[in-house]
Amino acid sequence: MERVDIKVGFYCNNLCKFCVQGRKRDYLPAKDKEEVINSLKEAYDKGKREVVFTGGEPCLHPEFLLLVKAAREIGFEVIQIQTNGRMFAYENFCLKTIQAGANQFSPALHGHNAAIHDFLTEAPGSFKQTAQGVKNLKKLNQYVLTNSVITSKNYRHLPELARLLVDLGVDQFQFAFVHILGTADKNKDWLTPRKTDIMPFVKRGLDIGIKAGKKVTTEAIPFCFMAGYEKHVGETIMPETRIYDAGFVVEDYGAYRRDSGKAKRKECRLCKYDKVCEGPWKEYTELFGWDEFKPVKK
């Protein structure tokens, strides 16, 4: 199903060390409701039937519930909330969001314990709230798909994180390699692990999810690292997405990723996966070069 992604504002109660949005919260106000509703209507008219509310933290938009309700009234079939998950620690807020029409929740959990997660989010107490949020949403029978950003501080514990996600009952989880933009760019020297180092932990984490019958994916880890796990490369199943950002629209996020965000090396032409692989985020290769990326024999 084609998707629209609407950034409703950049305010957030976390201050993640890997946030690609940087400090946009300091100078970009929350969008007003008319602007968001117009974007929703336009996207619906263009055939989108799935909307993702994101930001910043969308739940903190002053008219969040009204926007969710508007999406439902316009006719969107899937209404997903991409969130740090903290507001869902309040059961009443979960109920109101579900009543307004949301039917998919994508909270972010970046560590298997408070020490790691709260360090990365710079928000004491955030681990406890996000984990409680997932529990509440599952208790209310909601579809929960989590995202976890892979950094130098958490990659060794991805198997424990996967175990926690399975225990919390999530339906799906994704491990996304840190994208060196915004705040992540400022912290890149100590925050960015080598892809070669993370892979044993990524694969053990995926195995835990697979064994438990969960849908598991990765993001920004090309096929040449994913031997045996190729069908979990997330880019291959990402829907066509239009993005309403701050003051501009990305018509086709997939094309943007392939043409400007990601990079390939000339040797990629020899690789079995060249046609389907997007390559890594280009900032990674600017930091570490191309040595790790070895074409897979046809």
Q: Of the two residues 230 and 245, which places its CB atom closer to ligand SF4 in the complex?
A: 230
Amino acid at 164: L
Distance from CA of residue 58 to its chain's centroid? 14
Q: Of the two residues 66 and 287, which places its CB atom closer to ligand SF4 in the complex?
A: 287
Q: Of the two residues 246 and 296, which places its CB atom closer to ligand SF4 in the complex?
A: 296
Place of tokens 């880890």: 221
Number of residues that bind ligand SF4 (CB under 6 A): 13
Range 223-282, binding ligand SF4 (CB under 6 A): 223-224, 264, 268, 271, 273-274, 277, 279
- Report how far residue 61's alpha carbon sits from residue 82's, in angstroms, rounded to the nearest whole number: 13
Q: Of the two residues 5 and 235, which places its CB atom closer to ligand SF4 in the complex?
A: 235
Handedness of CA 7, 287, 17, 157 (dihedral sign): positive
The DSSP code for 262 is: B
Q: Of the two residues 37 and 271, which places its CB atom closer to ligand SF4 in the complex?
A: 271
Q: Of the two residues 57 and 278, which places its CB atom closer to ligand SF4 in the complex?
A: 278
- Report how far residue 120's alpha carbon sits from residue 142's, in angstroms, rounded to the nearest whole number: 26
> Shortest Cβ distance from residue 190 to ligand SF4 (Å)?
25
> Shortest Cβ distance from residue 197 to ligand SF4 (Å)?
17
> Shortest Cβ distance from residue 184 to ligand SF4 (Å)?
20
CA distances from 209 to 107, 216, 257 (A): 17, 6, 27
Handedness of CA 122, 59, 214, 241 (dihedral sign): negative
- Report how far residue 192's alpha carbon sits from residue 109's, in angstroms, rounded to the nearest whole number: 18
Q: State the binding string over 185-224 for ligand SF4 (x if CB under 6 A, else -).
A: -------------------------------------xxx
> Shortest Cβ distance from residue 182 to ligand SF4 (Å)?
24
Q: Of the two residues 182 and 295, which places its CB atom closer to ligand SF4 in the complex?
A: 295
> Shortest Cβ distance from residue 221 to ligand SF4 (Å)?
9
Q: Which helix (H) or strand (E) holds 43?
A: helix 33-45
CB atoms within 10 A of CB 196: 12
Distance from CA of residue 5 to its chain's centroid? 12
> Shortest Cβ distance from residue 158 to ligand SF4 (Å)?
21
The DSSP code for 112 is: S
Q: State the binding string over 107-146 for ligand SF4 (x if CB under 6 A, else -).
A: ----------------------------------------
Amino acid at 73: E
Residues at the site binding ligand SF4, with contacts judged by CB under 6 A: 222-224, 264, 268, 271, 273-274, 277, 279, 293, 295-296
